[in-house]
Amino acid sequence: MKVVYVVESLEMSGGVKVIVEHAEELSRRGHDVSIVTRHAADDWMPVGVPVSLVPSFSAETLPEADVHVATWFETVVPTLRAGRARTVVHFSQGYEAIYPWIAHRKAEIDEAYAQPVPKLLISAHLVGLFEGRFPGPFHVLPQAIRAADYAPGDPERDRPRQPPAIGIVGPFEALNKGIRVGLEAVSRLRDGGRPLRLHRASQMPLTDEERALLPCDVYAFRASVAEMVAWYHSSDVLVHPSFEAEGFPLPPLEAMAAGVPVVLTDIPSYAPIPADAAPRVPPGDAAAITREVGLLLHEPGLWVARRRRGIEVAATFSLARAIDALESALSAIVKG
């Protein structure tokens, strides 16, 4: 099967990481897979399939294929109009219209989702959001990571470091990430007399506003995939304070694979993660995050139990399982 992923940009993001890994794994299974993009990547992540850089998506720039996979709302309509594939599929990792920074383009977003093409969804909760509103069919792909890449070098460690490091991933500017809430929780812990290190990671530069709110000890800016593995290993707890606009972000799974206990918000996309692997708190509730992190740091037995359970759970989110589902969906779609 010849599959072309139509990607607006290969700039650093978790969504791009998912696309690249899907493309690479399909290629390893013998499919002819490539990526066409308007903005090529830097060296943050190696890409193991051919990449073509084009000025726009059209009949002149998109190659013929069995399947074109449009991966962002802006790519759907141009890919369809190009008419260069037997089938066009829309791969959604989250409904863009509920992202605060792009909500003003809702009409364009809904036009993309209204196209009568099959949709691949990264999270089952998106089916409930789209069904009856946009045409399907809908195929859910389980989220996945290469868990072995994140395996801790000290799997038998049985307590946090002193002082412990709290990790928070994501751009401060993206309101759906809830970074401000996570920083408030860390500030509360410090105000309560607990010495902590704050480790931040983001694809965006550290802003003056964030620095003024709560200075961090480590700021990993545009860290490569390999550098992020080391960043996770340097953290003792990951706080991921997302709001409901999130699709299914990778950092919680990556942290669990790295042996880092995680505190999550109670949003639909995290439903596949068992409750005994990561506690849930209401979105926006800094006090609840403070409480859950405090429990992990105060009780080494709880910390090590969550660490071990997280490693177990992360291993179940395998790429093999995700690509089985992807391959099955694409085959069924092409056969009609």
Q: Which domains does the chain have, with CATH numbers?
A: 2-144+318-335 (3.40.50.2000), 147-316 (3.40.50.2000)
Locate 46 and state its tokens: 């190696």
Q: Are strands 197-202 and 85-92 parallel, antiparallel or unpaired?
A: unpaired
The residues with which 231 forms a beta bridge, in sequence order, are: none
The residues with which 89 forms a beta bridge, in sequence order, are: 69
Report which of 175, 184, 314, 193 is spatially closest to residue 256, judged by C-alpha positions.
314
pLDDT at 176: 86
For 260-276, letters b (16+ CB in 10 Å) and e give bbbbbbebebbeebeee
Locate 49 and state its tokens: 């399939």
Low-confidence residues in the chain, pLDDT < 50: none
Backbone angles phi, psi at 271, to 5 degrees: -55, -35
pTM of the model: 0.90
Decide: 123 and 141 in contact? Cβ < 8 Å: no
Backbone angles phi, psi at 166, to 5 degrees: -100, 125
Question: In what helix (H) or strand (E) does residue 24 lie, and over which residues does it extend?
Answer: helix 14-28
What is each CA distance from 261 to 106, 181, 251, 288, 309, in whole angstroms?
36, 18, 12, 16, 9
What is each CA distance from 162 to 201, 297, 314, in whole angstroms?
21, 10, 26
Output the DSSP codes for 250-262: SHHHHHHHTT--E
pLDDT at 135: 97
pLDDT at 246: 78
Q: Quote the CA–CA distance of 284 and 22 in Å, as a whole number.
A: 32
Q: Quote the CA–CA distance of 298 and 304 in Å, as a whole number.
A: 12
Q: Quote the CA–CA distance of 287 and 285 in Å, as a whole number.
A: 5
Whats the size of the chain, residue-wise? 336
pLDDT at 247: 77
Locate 41 and state its tokens: 């990547």
Q: Quote the CA–CA distance of 121 and 187 in Å, as a whole number.
A: 36
Q: Are strands 85-92 and 119-121 parallel, antiparallel or unpaired?
A: parallel
DSSP for residue 105? G
Backbone angles phi, psi at 288, to 5 degrees: -70, -40
